[in-house]
């Protein structure tokens, strides 16, 4: 079977809307993909602030934002289709939305971006609300990307995404495991904003700083790291817990970034050790994607942290680095359309794997 879908992804780093148009082929249960077009449309400052402050809105204003953001997503798709000459080629849209509330222990997760509005704006069948079924079944609702990694990127033993949150997937003999490790780019970007930069290009600022061992010890002692997986993080972990803790030390931006890079690398090393169960693997590979893969100093420290466990770091082509999650959102839309599982319970801890996502028919009957 052959499918053409657009995947939409908005991460916790708030840098913009990622879009991918991909062709997916399934033959006898084996999947292949080809990315035909990709783009990132940066958010305006106004939209960044609206998404950042969504959880403080009244119920009425939150619902208006949900609808208006859905319209923004739909208009982004229409722009993408026009810019890449994709008229009459797109069969499905898979939209992750922008996570606002995420409290799986209370059976609740919320992603902004009304799927019905996307479908109505584009005239294309749309799949949204990809996490909520898993949460209803007692799962974390995250990560949801691993099923795409299983079907499309299964040659790697480990897959690490460095976005606003760092999360890892392990390809084990008895199934896939995955969980959120720690806040990543979201925290580092806050410090970069203090010196007028959007992010630490290449990691040069962090590399110039000094490691603060006292802060590093405090960070590594946060309660979340003591929890067993499966587990997941809300966006506010970085903004409401990690950043305020770091701010109390009043470090220079280079020193704060240097310390936090080390923290991320150490937590990734601990995560790999936990997933291995203390048994070193030979020539295992760790595929790294997400915006953090462009932070060469961070990659250097991660490589050093996982080397003792027999793991080598692999950096793919730039398009996969930047758009892997959007690519998987397109695949999840296809799986939902086929009424096949979109979430793995081995990853989320739900009582069973599930077919997640609301389907909105955008095309005329």
3-state class of 144 per DSSP? coil
Could you tell me the two tokens for 274? 């936990």
Q: What is the pTM of this model?
A: 0.91
Each residue of 100-110: pLDDT tens digit? 999 999 999 99
288 has pLDDT over 90: yes
pLDDT band at 281 (very low <50, low <70, confident <90, very high): confident
Residue length of the chain: 365
Q: What is the pLDDT of residue 11?
A: 78
Residue 88, Cβ density class (10 Å: 0-12 exposed, 13-18 middle, ≥19 buried):
exposed
Q: What DSSP line would sit under 298-365, residue for residue?
A: HHHHHHHHHGGGTEEEE---HHHHHHHHHHHHHHHHHHHHTT---B-HHHH--SS-B---EEE--S--
Cα 62–Cα 63–Cα 66 angle in degrees, nearest 5: 90
85 has pLDDT over 90: yes
Fold of 148-320: Nucleotidyltransferase; domain 5 (3.30.420)
Q: What DSSP line would sit under 218-237, residue for residue?
A: HHHT-GGGGSPSS----THI
Q: Which residues pair with 311 in a beta bridge?
A: 284
Same fold: 2-138+324-360 with 148-320:
yes
- Using only C-alpha atoms, what is the Rg of the chain? 20
**Torsions phi, psi for 180 (to 5 deg):** -75, 135
pLDDT band at 76 (very low <50, low <70, confident <90, very high): very high
116 has pLDDT over 80: yes
* Dihedral in degrees, nearest 10, Cα atoms 321, 326, 328, 329: 170
Taking Cα atoms as reference points, which of 24, 17, 125, 35 lies closest to residue 79?
A: 17
Question: Euclidean distance between the first and final Cα of the chain, in Å?
Answer: 23
Pairing type for strands 158-162 and 165-172 reads antiparallel
Domain chopping of the chain, boundaries: 2-138+324-360, 148-320
On average, the pLDDT of the chain sits at: 96
Mean pLDDT of 51-70: 97
How far apart, in whole angstroms, are the C-alpha atoms of residue 30 and residue 155?
13
Pairing type for strands 108-112 and 126-128 reads unpaired
Q: Which CATH architecture has domain 2-138+324-360?
A: 2-Layer Sandwich (3.30)
Alpha helices (H) in the chain, listed in sequence order = 45-52, 59-83, 115-122, 132-136, 146-152, 185-193, 204-208, 213-220, 236, 243-247, 253-276, 296-306, 318-337, 345-348
């Amino acid at each position: 079977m052959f499918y053409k879908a657009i995947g939409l992804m908005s991460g916790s780093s708030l840098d913009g809307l990622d879009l991918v148009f991909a062709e997916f082929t399934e033959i006898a249960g084996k999947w292949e993909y080809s990315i035909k077009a990709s783009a990132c449309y940066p958010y305006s400052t106004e939209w960044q602030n609206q998404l950042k402050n969504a959880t403080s809105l009244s119920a009425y204003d939150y619902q208006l934002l949900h609808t208006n953001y859905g319209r923004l997503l739909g208009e982004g798709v229409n722009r993408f289709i026009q810019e890449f000459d994709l008229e009459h080629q797109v069969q499905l849209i898979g939209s992750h939305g922008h996570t606002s509330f995420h409290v799986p222990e209370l059976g609740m997760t919320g992603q902004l971006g009304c799927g019905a509005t996307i479908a109505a704006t584009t005239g294309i069948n749309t799949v949204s609300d990809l996490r909520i079924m898993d949460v209803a079944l007692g799962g974390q609702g995250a990560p949801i990307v691993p099923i795409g990694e299983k079907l499309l990127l299964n040659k790697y033993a480990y897959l690490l995404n460095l976005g606003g949150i760092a999360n890892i997937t392990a390809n084990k003999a008895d199934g896939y495991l995955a969980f959120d490790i720690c806040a990543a780019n979201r925290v580092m970007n806050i410090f970069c904003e203090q010196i007028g930069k959007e992010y630490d290009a290449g990691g040069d600022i962090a590399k110039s700083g000094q490691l603060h061992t006292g802060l590093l010890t405090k960070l590594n002692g946060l309660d979340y790291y003591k929890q067993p997986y499966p587990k997941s993080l809300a966006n506010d972990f970085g903004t409401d817990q990690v950043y305020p803790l770091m701010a109390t030390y009043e470090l220079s931006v280079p020193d704060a970034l240097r310390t936090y890079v080390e923290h991320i690398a150490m937590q990734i090393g601990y995560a790999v050790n936990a997933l291995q169960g203390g048994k070193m693997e030979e020539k295992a590979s760790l595929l790294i994607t997400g915006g953090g893969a462009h932070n060469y100093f961070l990659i250097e420290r991660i490589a050093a942290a996982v080397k003792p466990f027999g793991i080598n770091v692999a950096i793919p082509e730039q398009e996969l680095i930047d758009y892997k999650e959007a690519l998987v959102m397109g695949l999840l839309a296809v799986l939902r359309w086929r009424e096949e599982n979109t979430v793995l319970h081995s990853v989320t801890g739900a009582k069973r794997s599930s077919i997640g996502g609301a389907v909105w028919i955008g095309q005329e009957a």
